[in-house]
Amino acid sequence: MSDIKPNHSALTEKPGIIAPEIISASSAGNIQHFRRIQPSSDELISGILKGDITALSRSITLVESTNTIHLAKANTVINTCLLHAAKSIRIGITGVPGVGKSTFIEAFGKYLTGLGKKVAVLAVDPSSTISHGSILGDKTRMEELVKDKNAYIRPSASGETLGGVARKTRETITLCEAAGFDVIVIETVGVGQSETAVHSMVDFFLLLKISGAGDELQGIKRGIMEMADAIIINKADGDNIKKAQFAKMEFNRALHLFPAKSSGWTPTTSTCSSITHEGIPIVWETIEKFLDLTKGNKSFYSKRKEQNQYWMLETINEQLKANFYKQNEIQQLLESTKKAVQNDEISPFAAAQFLLEKYFK
Amino acid sequence: MSDIKPNHSALTEKPGIIAPEIISASSAGNIQHFRRIQPSSDELISGILKGDITALSRSITLVESTNTIHLAKANTVINTCLLHAAKSIRIGITGVPGVGKSTFIEAFGKYLTGLGKKVAVLAVDPSSTISHGSILGDKTRMEELVKDKNAYIRPSASGETLGGVARKTRETITLCEAAGFDVIVIETVGVGQSETAVHSMVDFFLLLKISGAGDELQGIKRGIMEMADAIIINKADGDNIKKAQFAKMEFNRALHLFPAKSSGWTPTTSTCSSITHEGIPIVWETIEKFLDLTKGNKSFYSKRKEQNQYWMLETINEQLKANFYKQNEIQQLLESTKKAVQNDEISPFAAAQFLLEKYFK
């Protein structure tokens, strides 16, 4: 478009017009005032502990911020909230798009609030940065739950890396627990390694399926079935009931071929309908049985400790890698070294050594 | 045994006897002479390319050395060998102890040398450092194969970390391929993450099983079944044949529930007997079909490139972590920080940040 004359552009500065100050004295004053009314971390903490949703939302916004001052404040809030974490259960839910995750969570969530429980629904969706919130972004998909005063729905945090998104969700769990939520549901669509991340922050991992012709597991990534504590065949209504029953049997058979879980829990399968609500109570009964077993044999608590440690080590690992790959010299050499390795011109180990020497020198 | 008098110990130094120099002048001369006659890297390379087993073994010893001069020499040899890698197939074999891995490899190896192929058998066994070579260490377990001039058996390298053991085996593959071996078999017993390591260095991954009452997969770790390109039910002889056939059917059913492999390969199941040799040819036929398919659709080559890159990135990651955790300050703070994280006194992310700040400052 080189034939457009610069003079015709609306962006051209007209001679003789003085550009205004970017921030006027009055708006600067407004910003300062707004900053002053930002609640202190003590105010946020006491708000959260009272179950105040505004304090909770504001604290989550701090957790999601990239501003280091906000993050420091978030850390203060979180570390105090950790000491006040209620006796919650964290449930991970995954399943391919089309399986009916939102309608299931709506039906399941309403059932739980009906039992007098407070339910928070979060999400880990690293793709939401690109798609502007593909899961939970559109709250209208959970029309009933969103109006329920005992439910709190928060879309996936955005971020460039799964590690970043996962950290934000993991810390949000802590805040929700301190705010008195009994059940924390974390949804994921299974982009990249997001199931592994969610699996590592929940007590109970639920795989949602629908019955289908032929390959019952189509679209489900390798390893997911082994993570599941329960497989729920959704959309078991109308003409689908028989097929769903058959799928349940197939999955049950397959699950029993897997090695036993260290918690002693044997994964279950069941069918449900988010429309007729048939089978929804069974999901919660299953989770209660799981809690009885794993709190009884203490594996519930040891798993949480392991998960905490996992996130510490994983964060260290992520940061060490991030620091390495952001170095100019490494960035300049990485692609050509990768190519040499792929083409068998240099051994992968010699190539790694070569880059590491540049980094540590 | 505190009642044994020190004077009675054979280790007690007798007064009046002068201890000899630890290294005498003559043995020092011998060592120097021995060092002089160590072949140069050029000699090793030309020996390997001629298929000379002594040159191959000596080069592998360099790869396994902890001496940096030896390692530099090993790197020179490997980087030249990479350019001469023959058209080999790398086969990983895993299975719990008792499944008959050694007898299977003996029968399979003999079958292949009978077809005129040169077969190298290596192992990844990080436990061998403690158990002094639990797999392949006792070569007499493969009596026939060890005498075969077209077979080369090398026990697992030892090392403190799986990463170290895996590196040595991975580089040994390159040397064996340059020495003209057509089939490289890598055995593992599945200690820690060793199957993942082996899976990432082979073209074809074979899970060896026996039929058993009840839980057919007992003892097999999570995720292993999904890695398998073929499941072989071993010991299908005598009274066992029916049970083995049944197990084959069960596994086949389970395998079809898994998602398709990106190579387009559908994992197979078959039975075999390492005693009657029934079913051994089928294993090789299966692998040939696999090669036809994956070389046809090029996934064979793209997988090798991916594996090369994986080992480079993995080695970088391992070294970055090793460097972090060996710092004095980190070592001093790590345990107490871990404990604080486990007990919810500090968030895992805040804890990671705390340690990383110490490291990078």
Cβ neighbours of A346 in B, within 8 Å: 79, 82
Widest distance between CA atoms in chain B: 78
User: For residues B283 and B272, what is the distance between their CA atoms, to the nearest angstrom?
Assistant: 8
Q: What local confidence, expressed as pLDDT, does residue B216 receive?
A: 44
Q: What local confidence, expressed as pLDDT, does residue A275 receive?
A: 87
Annotate B291-302 with b (16+ C-beta within 10 A) or e (fewer): eeebeeeebbee
| Strand partners of residue B204 | B91
pLDDT at B2 over 70: no
Interface test with A, best of B71, B177, B320 (most A CBs within 10 A): B320
Helix (H) or strand (E) holding B357: helix B348-360
* B337 near A CB under 8 A: yes
Residue type, A27: S
pLDDT tens for each residue of B31-79:
565 555 788 999 999 999 999 999 999 999 999 888 889 988 999 999 9
Strand intervals (E) in B189-340? 204-210, 230-234, 268-271
* B217 near A CB under 8 A: yes
Interface of A with B in 8-27 (CB under 8 A): none
Q: What local confidence, expressed as pLDDT, does residue B36 receive?
A: 55
Q: What local confidence, expressed as pLDDT, does residue A335 receive?
A: 94
pLDDT tens for each residue of A187-212:
987 666 788 889 999 999 999 988 86
pLDDT tens for each residue of B156-188:
777 767 878 888 899 999 999 999 999 999 998
Annotate B1-16 with b (16+ C-beta within 10 A) or e (fewer): eeeeeeeeeeeeeeee
Residue type, B344: D
Q: How many CA within 13 A on the CB side of residue A349?
A: 21
pLDDT at B3 over 70: no
A341:B308 CB<8 A: yes
pLDDT tens for each residue of A94-132:
987 778 888 999 999 999 999 999 999 998 877 655 444
- Contact yes or no for A78/A171 (Cβ under 8 A): yes
pLDDT at B269 over 60: yes
User: For residues A316 and B352, what is the distance between their CA atoms, to the nearest angstrom?
Assistant: 5
Q: What local confidence, expressed as pLDDT, does residue A152 receive?
A: 95
Q: What local confidence, expressed as pLDDT, does residue B34 receive?
A: 52
Residue type, B280: I
* A255 near B CB under 8 A: no
B348:A315 CB<8 A: yes
Q: Identify the DSSP state of A268.
A: E
Q: Nearest Cβ partner of B320 from A79, A321, A341?
A: A321
Q: Which of B1, B80, B7, B98 is nearest to B40 (CA)?
A: B80
pTM of the model: 0.76
Cβ neighbours of A78 in B, within 8 Å: 347, 350
A215:B256 CB<8 A: yes
User: For residues A73 and A59, what is the distance between their CA atoms, to the nearest angstrom?
Assistant: 9
| Overall average pLDDT of the A44-57 stretch | 95
User: For residues B127 and B58, what is the distance between their CA atoms, to the nearest angstrom?
Assistant: 23
Question: DSSP string spanning A36-89?
Answer: HTSPPHHHHHHHHHTT-HHHHHHHHHHHH---HHHHHHHHHHHHHHHTT--S-E
Q: Which of A296, A288, A229 is nearest to A261 (CA)?
A: A229
Q: What local confidence, expressed as pLDDT, does residue B215 receive?
A: 43
Widest distance between CA atoms in chain A: 81
Helix (H) or strand (E) holding B358: helix B348-360
Q: What local confidence, expressed as pLDDT, does residue B17 receive?
A: 53
Alpha carbon distance, N-terminus to C-terminus of chain A: 48
Please name the residue that has the structure tokens 């059913």. B253
What is the pLDDT of chain A when averaged over all its residues? 83
User: For residues A347 and A345, what is the distance between their CA atoms, to the nearest angstrom?
Assistant: 7
Q: What local confidence, expressed as pLDDT, does residue A20 receive?
A: 52
Burial class (CB within 10 angstroms; exposed 0-12, middle 13-18, buried 19+) of A320: buried
Cβ neighbours of A262 in B, within 8 Å: none
Contacts of B263 (CB under 8 A, 6+ apart): B293, B294, B297, B299, B300, B303
pLDDT tens for each residue of B195-208:
888 999 999 999 99
Contacts of B166 (CB under 8 A, 6+ apart): B124, B194, B197, B198, B201
pLDDT at B209 over 80: yes
To the nearest whole Å, the CA of A335 is away from the closest chain B CA by: 11
Contacts of B241 (CB under 8 A, 6+ apart): B271
Q: Which of A221, A190, A220, A183 is nearest to A204 (CA)?
A: A183
What is the pLDDT of chain B when averaged over all its residues? 83
Cβ neighbours of A310 in B, within 8 Å: 348
**What percentage of chain B carries pLDDT values higher than 90?**
52
User: For residues B40 and B43, what is the distance between their CA atoms, to the nearest angstrom?
Assistant: 5
Max mean pLDDT among A187-196, A300-309, B12-21 falls in A300-309
Cβ neighbours of A168 in B, within 8 Å: none
Q: Does domain A308-360 have CATH number 1.10.287?
A: yes
pLDDT at A280 over 70: yes
Interface of A with B in 117-156 (CB under 8 A): none
- Contact yes or no for A204/A229 (Cβ under 8 A): yes
Its CATH class, for the domain covering A37-80, is: mainly alpha
Burial class (CB within 10 angstroms; exposed 0-12, middle 13-18, buried 19+) of B43: middle
A321:B317 CB<8 A: yes
Classify domain A85-297 by CATH number.
3.40.50.300
Q: Which of B269, B272, B174, B201 is nearest to B229 (CA)?
A: B269
Cβ neighbours of B83 in A, within 8 Å: 344-345
pLDDT at B134 over 90: no
Interface test with A, best of B257, B318, B335, B357 (most A CBs within 10 A): B257
pLDDT at B90 over 60: yes
Domain ranges, ordered by start, for chain A: 37-80, 85-297, 308-360
Cβ pairs bridging A and B (under 8 Å): 171
B78:A218 CB<8 A: no
Q: What local confidence, expressed as pLDDT, does residue B135 receive?
A: 53
